[in-house]
Structure 1
């Protein structure tokens, strides 16, 4: 995967993410965003295969000095030696009046040989507690405040 392909893949993952999440939350989500990068979110104790690499010393999480990151920082940081994390979960985790903050939970294994034709990104909805979801239908009972549910 080229660096440009990675950038395009990120943009595709972000297309519609804010609108999709907006349907479930009471917050007004800005269409301008910053990123929270979380590395090594996978179990990587199994033997490496093919071209895989790991970076076990990466300790990037919410409180890292790299966060919140710009799109350019995300691309520069996660694209290494022509390789990217094998999967990256993409989810809006909070917002303020200026930005929607998108968490990127990244696999610890980097590879150029991805199993996903559209790249490593997987868009997810917000983390909504079960009490807000009808257990029979799976329907959302009420929109939630994104900033409050992620602090509880």
Structure 2
């Protein structure tokens, strides 16, 4: 996957995740986006030879990135993680920030992308993390949610 195509998918997934999160949160989400990334979030078998692996990425995390920085980190040799779970995690006065949890397997084969049937390539749209004891019929504030801690 070339970087412009990946950027297009990232921005599309971000907008869908943003719209999805509005159904759950009270916060006024901003339309300017930032991203936090956890790499190699999956437990992968490096014997699967059709994928590229980057064991040096274990426990690597990045914060407050713009979309171009995300593309530069995740698009390697025209390969991207086979799944990237995207969800709104926080909002401040300027930005809505998304968590990107990434598989450790990289591929350039669209058939390997977990969410290709959705038209989102490797991106899976997830809800914000709900606070403990959350009533599904009530919206919640992100700052009170049980956010994933990096």
TM-score clears 0.5? yes
Is this contact kept in 2: 1:87–1:120, CA < 8 A?
yes
What does residue range 12-51 of structure 1 map to in structure 2 within 5 Å?
A: 12-50=12-50
**TM-score, with length taken from structure 2:** 0.86
Find the counterpart in structure 2 of residue 53 from structure 1: 52
Task: Tell whether 2:73 aligns with 1:77.
Answer: yes
The offset of 1:49, in angstroms, is 3.1
SS for the counterpart of 2:71 is helix
Q: Please tell me whether Structure 1 or Structure 2 has the larger radius of gyration of its CA atoms.
A: 1
Worse-matched range after superposition: 17-26 or 31-40:
17-26
Q: Give SS of 2:56's match.
A: coil
Tell me the C-alpha RMSD between the 2 structures: 1.8
Runs of 4+ in 1 over 2 A off after TM superposition: 114-118
Q: Alignment length, in residue pairs?
A: 141
Normalised to the residue count of structure 1, the TM-score between the two structures is 0.85
Q: Which runs of 5+ in 2 are unaligned?
A: none
Runs (5+) with no aligned partner, structure 1: 134-139
